[in-house]
Structure 1
Amino acid sequence: MGASKILVIGSINMDLVLRVPYIPQVGETLLGSSVERIPGGKGANQAVTAAKLGANVSMLGKVGGDEFGIPLIDNLRQAGVHADRIDLVPAASSGLAVIQVNDEGDNSIVVLAGANDLCSKDYILDHEELIKEAEIVILQMEIPHEAVYQAIDLANKHRKTVLLNPAPAPDFIPDAILGKLDYLIPNETELQKLSGQPVDSIAAAEDAAKVLLSKGVSNLIITLGSNGSLYVSANGAVHVPARAVKAVDTTAAGDSFVAAFAVGLSEGKSVQEAIAFATKVSSIVVTKAGAQTSIPNRSEVDALA
């Protein structure tokens, strides 16, 4: 049996990480100590994770004709992602995140959407056959929302398993869209925004999740950082604790969790088994610096008890 097909539709960025002694104030010039170029973007992070875990992964997204566009596509290919349908838009700049990190590890981030903003409904419609060929479709919200909703409509039409990671969280998602999702995977902040309820404890997260269940969501998996995750469905709630590790950098922890969960499902694992697998993967990611640079391969995950 070949690896099942996962399609990731979403953002592709280059992260420029500047190391600074502290975050500068308005009008201040500061000397940084280093700069790194690290491929990122929630969509690309998820595609790379799924590919490194052994899945058969394709990606839809757009990059620009600047110096970052081709390296971003090459990076996806090197990770094993099928990138033939990614559009390179000559007149656009690639998505860019400029990240300042201080000596304490705190950061400030400016994101330029660039070519990600050109992912239109028409681009999605032009690649309907890729959705039809997939078994699982993963989406986030760093491309225009109308394109995300179009992809959800098509995936639902072709009876695919649909995962939405609502990040960054919009003010609301139409109920008609929520009802077409198999899994909604927010973090606490995103759940709070979408439910309109405070999420300051595991019990509060369960209550907030029930608001979204009432709007038509089938299954919610809320990522709770060091508190693990919470799986909520019509059958009740199950809390899955995090693995105890020393976190160095939480970048891409959420993205890796979403992708690893999808890989688990694609391999026939139960929801709880897939969550346990995703928990293991994200626990490795937080022990390393960077986004895609911190994502483990399958042998590294399988070696963990």
Structure 2
Amino acid sequence: MGSLNLDTSITLERMPQPGETIAAQGISLHPGGKGANQAFALGRLGCPVAMVGAVGQDAAGDTLLESLQAAGVDCSCVARREVPTGQAFITVDSAGENAIIILAGANSTVSPADVEKLRPLLAQADCLVLQLEIPLETVMAAAKLARSLGKVVILDPAPAPGPLPGELLALCDYLKPNETEVALLTGLPTATVEQCETAARRLLAQGVGTVLVSLGAKGALAVTPQEALLVAPPQVKAVDTTSAGDCFTAAFALRLVEGETSLQAALEFANTAAALTASRPGAQASIPARDEVEALLAAR
């Protein structure tokens, strides 16, 4: 359950400074939104998945639904609203790093009333994946419903608004921030892996089951009450990191619902999927199929 956006990506040699005008190298439109990207990635990786969210009654909404359906995503619970489809404006520099501005549009209309659509879906599901590009009260209601039905809850806290309510954190079996987001969630420094672990343990103390901190080229740090595990990714040339975090979340969720009991193995699979995504341009277009992920894993 989450956001669906039409992404406008602008490629640049470097990010502009305040007050500076620079030339773009290219511009493209493509389907995105953290919720939709994660659903798309699960579909591409071969996992049965349904999407709950909202788009406008416009061409952008048509494009987003067509993309998800092509990946095998059940979109029967994506509402069509009389407001424009959400948009994201993404700048990507020559190192593949990005900055993103969101215009919520129809995503802002996803309300706790929509959460009831989840009930029949969750009856058949193992896991609910959430993000923060829809209203926080809706995320809270969805997490409560999933936990009441005994389902695993994974929250990707992006965009991080600052500290989250303890009630929501306590509903999260897995919380997957990046190093910037874990700093915003805790108010603690996260410049080093050790600092990230300290911040993650602050979140564990607030009720999170496991914290997964994605660290870009350094890989991923999993922190549980019993251990901290740093798993390095395969080395690739980063082209566009826009959807790498979304693909990581989806790939980890996939291995979880498939019954993977080794946290290290699940992280290695997620890291590999994310690395492949970062090596390609675009949002959903960059997400690999499962056989590609397994081939790179086998080659390591």
TM-score, normalisation: structure 2: 0.92
1:49 aligns with 2:41: yes
Q: 2:132 aligns with which of 121, 126, 141?
A: 141
| Structure 1 residues 34 and 122: CA distance shift in structure 2, 3 A | same
Flag structure 1 segments of 5+ consecutive residues without an equivalent. Answer: 1-8
Contact 1:132 1:155 in 2 (8 A): no
Q: Which residue of structure 1 lines up, in the alignment, with residue 219 of structure 2?
A: 228
1:209 aligns with 2:193: no
Q: Which residue of structure 2 lines up, in the alignment, with residue 253 of structure 1?
A: 244
1:302 aligns with 2:274: no
Instruction: Tell me the alpha carbon deviations over residues 73-116 of structure 1, each in whole angstroms, 9 at most, x when there is no partner.
Output: 11100011011110011x21001113345667665543211000
| Structure 1 residues 109 and 240: CA distance shift in structure 2, 3 A | closer
Letter in 1 for 2:5: N
State the alpha-carbon separation in 2 of the partners of residues 184 and 290 from structure 1: 25
| Structure 1 residues 104 and 275: CA distance shift in structure 2, 3 A | closer
| Structure 1 residues 182 and 68: CA distance shift in structure 2, 3 A | same
Matches within 5 A, 1:219-298: 219-270=210-261, 271-298=263-290
Percent identity between the two aligned chains: 43
Superposition deviation, residue 66 in structure 1: 2.0
Contact 2:2 2:132 in 1 (8 A): yes
State the alpha-carbon separation in 2 of the partners of residues 159 and 182 from structure 1: 11
Q: 1:164 aligns with which of 121, 139, 155?
A: 155
State the alpha-carbon separation in 2 of the partners of residues 240 and 281 from structure 1: 13
Flag structure 2 segments of 5+ consecutive residues without an equivalent. Answer: none
Q: Which residue of structure 2 lines up, in the alignment, with residue 93 of structure 1?
A: 84
- Residue 30 of structure 2 aligns to a residue whose secondary structure is strand
State the alpha-carbon separation in 1 of the partners of residues 268 and 196 from structure 2: 19
Matches within 5 A, 1:64-213: 64-89=56-81, 91-101=82-92, 109-213=100-204
C-alpha RMSD of matched pairs (Å): 2.1
Q: Which residue of structure 2 lines up, in the alignment, with residue 3 of structure 1?
A: none
State the alpha-carbon separation in 1 of the partners of residues 97 and 152 from structure 2: 36
Instruction: Tell me the alpha carbon deviations over residues 203-236 of structure 1, each in whole angstroms, 9 at most, x when there is no partner.
Output: 1111111111111111111111111111111112
Contact 1:13 1:72 in 2 (8 A): yes
TM-score, normalisation: structure 1: 0.91
